[in-house]
Amino acid sequence: MLVSPSTVAERYRSEIRQEIRALQTQLKVVGLLSGDYGPSHTYAEYTRKACEDLGIAYELRDVPRLQLEDAIIEANQDPGVHGIMVYYPIFGNERDNFIKDLVDYRKDIEGLNSFWLRKLYENERTIEGASRSGKAIVPCTALAIIKILEANGAYGSSGTRPAEHKTATIFNRSEVVGRPLAVMMSNDGANVYSFDEFGPLLYRDGQSSETNISRSEALAASDVVITGVPSKNFPKIRAGEISSHATCLNFATIKNFEPDAETKAGIFIPRVGPVTVAMCMRNTLRLYRSYFAS
Amino acid sequence: MLVSPSTVAERYRSEIRQEIRALQTQLKVVGLLSGDYGPSHTYAEYTRKACEDLGIAYELRDVPRLQLEDAIIEANQDPGVHGIMVYYPIFGNERDNFIKDLVDYRKDIEGLNSFWLRKLYENERTIEGASRSGKAIVPCTALAIIKILEANGAYGSSGTRPAEHKTATIFNRSEVVGRPLAVMMSNDGANVYSFDEFGPLLYRDGQSSETNISRSEALAASDVVITGVPSKNFPKIRAGEISSHATCLNFATIKNFEPDAETKAGIFIPRVGPVTVAMCMRNTLRLYRSYFAS
């Protein structure tokens, strides 16, 4: 069964819209676009529409890549800006990591700053020292994926371990999606096999350990299969590798499942973008309340 | 003329040794080794010898890669540890960047934390808020390279712009060496052409701009040529590309110059390791004085 994330996104948007309407302040998000990576322009337009729909002001700033760092520092210091969204890739190398950490964590609506990752990896779920207590921010795509799984019954939605007894396999262990997602799902009780080009790790209760499990063993055991491999060299997942009750989700911009696997899956979710953006807007609201509301 | 960095290293070591001897406290550096990358073991042994020679206690901790982050947090919190040195690569991907930023900047004797890079890129040369004022830390390999150039007359050693009228080309724009080095040399007055696999940038006065200069034009104009390309696909620099008065330096673990270029160079420096380690030990002393001395 093919499931679009739009319904899930709309549910969150209507909650956020109401909360925004009740605020005294006009929230503002600044998007920073550099370089000429085509999908970034599309994503920026998409963010603009989502912001406007929710009652958040959005300003897109198109800056030469060598001026991006100064533009981030300016937005960090501007009290009229509540959230900053940077469209990656910029340089396509480790400089992009430097840029992620240059965004003030109090305006990091995508949750990519290592300040938030450190909190997540140490399972600190609240903000300390903020003007009022609040929940910590987590990376928006990882959060969006969990919300989509929840909405589709592939994840419990209550209790402290809603994913107890679930087994998941994730192909991607980036610091922005795959690793935080494995930590979050395993903190929720799941056994998570995490694969990248260097091999697998097993996550349980937020901790990882080495494992020799093969791709086919991990897939055969999984209730949930999540892919995010931006390479055409990745051998796409075939129908024979997954169980017919598995919930499968791909967040890469290219296909990671063969068509027969998409058809065989109990539920197949081909993209997460709309929910990711909704989670960024929810983060904007949370960060505002934690750090800027008087 | 082939020049070994050992003489330069010994000069700094004798200064540091005297300063260490005058301290009331026994300084201690912890080295963290994970994984089985051979050169890391050699480098760790080398650091031990350098520490012992200078009167700094050194403890090497060999930890499984998945426990490295916990080991860093433990060393961060231990008041008996004044400096932390992590031997890279660990995972060989962006997780290594996360690890760099996990080291407390007050114990980051290699100067790799983005806390220090941000200061450097904004040309903030002092530490504020420390128990006493002190100089900011800069990445140890970049600093070592400048000290070697200075000692060999390829760089002025006084005034605020000791590299005025010099032109340099650097092949490497990593966040740990090439980019900080380009910023530092251009802040010292040099014109710096910085190349990586995505093309060249021109650095002047700490700021970069786009340029279309070719490799051969940049090399022909350069008084100083610095390479740090860890790939055998890099076309090695040939004698015909450099001027005979050029000072050439390679800090990669593989050769980046053809033998005839090494011979033609006015001065050729084949490695920087001993001075890098001396700079780490100088940083240990500086960080101790800035943050931990009572």
User: Chain B contact for A63, CB < 8 A?
Assistant: no
Residue B175, pLDDT above cutoff 60: yes
The string of pLDDT tens digits covering residues B189-222 is 999 999 999 999 999 999 999 999 999 999 999 9
User: Chain A contact for B196, CB < 8 A?
Assistant: yes
pLDDT for position A132? 59
- The residues of chain A scoring below 50 in pLDDT are none
Fold matches, A23-135+274-292 and A142-272: yes
Closest in B66, B121, B210 to A209, CB measured: B66
Q: Average pLDDT, whole number, for chain B?
A: 95
The string of pLDDT tens digits covering residues A175-200 is 999 999 999 999 999 999 999 999 99
- Look up the ipTM and state it: 0.88
Residue in chain A closest to B207 (alpha carbons) equals A66
How many Å apart are CA B205 and CA B182, to the nearest integer? 10
Residue B188, pLDDT above cutoff 90: yes
How many Å apart are CA A54 and CA A51, to the nearest integer? 5
pLDDT for position A129? 63
CATH of domain B142-272: 3.40.50.720
- Radius of gyration of the CA atoms of chain B, in A: 19
The torsion angles phi and psi of A15, rounded to 5 degrees, stand at -65, -50
* Helix or strand holding residue A168 (H, E): strand A167-171
pLDDT for position B87? 96
Q: Are A92 and A49 in contact (CB under 8 A)?
A: no
Q: Are A63 and A24 in contact (CB under 8 A)?
A: no
Residues 6+ apart with CB under 8 A from A6: A274
Closest in A69, A94, A210 to B175, CB measured: A94
User: Chain B contact for A209, CB < 8 A?
Assistant: yes
Chain A residues whose CB is inside 8 A of the B64 CB are 210
Tally Cβ neighbours within 10 Å of residue B30: 22
Fold designation for A23-135+274-292: Rossmann fold (3.40.50)
The string of pLDDT tens digits covering residues A32-67 is 999 888 889 999 999 999 999 999 999 999 999 999
Residue in chain B closest to A121 (alpha carbons) equals B69
The string of pLDDT tens digits covering residues B57-70 is 999 999 999 999 99
How many Å apart are CA A73 and CA A82, to the nearest integer? 13
Q: Are A281 and A56 in contact (CB under 8 A)?
A: yes
Residue in chain B closest to A208 (alpha carbons) equals B66
SS3 at position B5:
coil
Known catalytic membership, residue B248: no
Count of residues in chain B: 294
Q: How many CB pairs under 8 A join A and B?
A: 49
- Radius of gyration of the CA atoms of chain A, in A: 19
User: Chain B contact for A216, CB < 8 A?
Assistant: no
Residue B294, pLDDT above cutoff 80: no
- Proportion of chain B above pLDDT 70, given as a percent: 98
Residue B44, pLDDT above cutoff 60: yes
How many Å apart are CA A148 and CA B215, to the nearest integer? 50
Architecture per CATH, B24-107: 3-Layer(aba) Sandwich (3.40)
- pTM value? 0.92
Structure tokens at A153: 């019954």
The sign of the dihedral angle between the CA atoms of A268, A274, A277, A283 is negative
Domain ranges of chain B: 24-107, 142-272
Q: How does residue B130 score in pLDDT terms, banded at 50, 70 and 90?
A: low
pLDDT for position B268? 97
Chain A residues whose CB is inside 8 A of the B118 CB are 102
pLDDT for position B147? 96
Tally Cβ neighbours within 10 Å of residue B287: 25
Residue in chain A closest to B91 (alpha carbons) equals A198
Does B14 or B3 have the greater pLDDT score? B14
Shortest distance between the Cα of B50 and any Cα of chain A, in A, equals 30
How many Å apart are CA A229 and CA A232, to the nearest integer? 8
User: Chain B contact for A234, CB < 8 A?
Assistant: no
How many Å apart are CA A34 and CA A69, to the nearest integer? 11
Residues 6+ apart with CB under 8 A from A191: A166, A167, A168, A202, A203, A204
The string of pLDDT tens digits covering residues B220-254 is 999 999 999 999 999 999 999 999 999 999 999 99
pLDDT for position A37? 86
Q: Are B181 and B226 in contact (CB under 8 A)?
A: yes
